[in-house]
Amino acid sequence: MPKASYAYTSRLNLFLTMEQGEPYDSLVRRANMAARAGAQRSFDQDLLITEVVINVTGENSDGIAVPVLNLRVSRQEWSQQPVTEYWATYFRGAAALLESSGSSF
């Protein structure tokens, strides 16, 4: 009788801190690079991983932390198009929340 093989999803939560005066688009570039590296490393390290889900959260100097992007991609999709921007979902409201440093709520 053949052995059963198990496939599973790798889940990563990554946190990035905005540097003082850093524009939001720079944080998004760093989030893309971190998500891409995480996805590639996950697929490279374990052949049984069939899907990767990565959440990248950004935090500003006021301690406000919000999701910046979510990457959900299968091994097959990643092998055909290993580009974070193609598979990621971006949270547009994050820019306004993270750039609101110094404002009171």
Flag whether 3 is in a domain.
no
DSSP state of 74: E
Other Cβ atoms within 10 Å of 78 Cβ, number: 21
More confident residue, 5 or 88: 88
In this predicted structure, the answer to whether residue 104 has a pLDDT above a threshold of 70 is no
What tens digit of pLDDT does each residue of 50-83 get?
999 999 999 999 999 999 999 999 999 999 999 9
* Any domain includes 105: no
Residue 71 is assigned to a structural domain of this protein: yes
- Tell me if 60 is assigned to some domain: yes
pLDDT per residue as tens digits for the range 10-42? 999 999 999 988 999 999 999 999 999 999 999
- Which phi and psi (to 5°) does residue 52 adopt? -125, 135
Q: Domain limits at 88?
A: 8-98
Overall number of domains in the chain: 1
Note whether residue 57 is domain-resident. yes
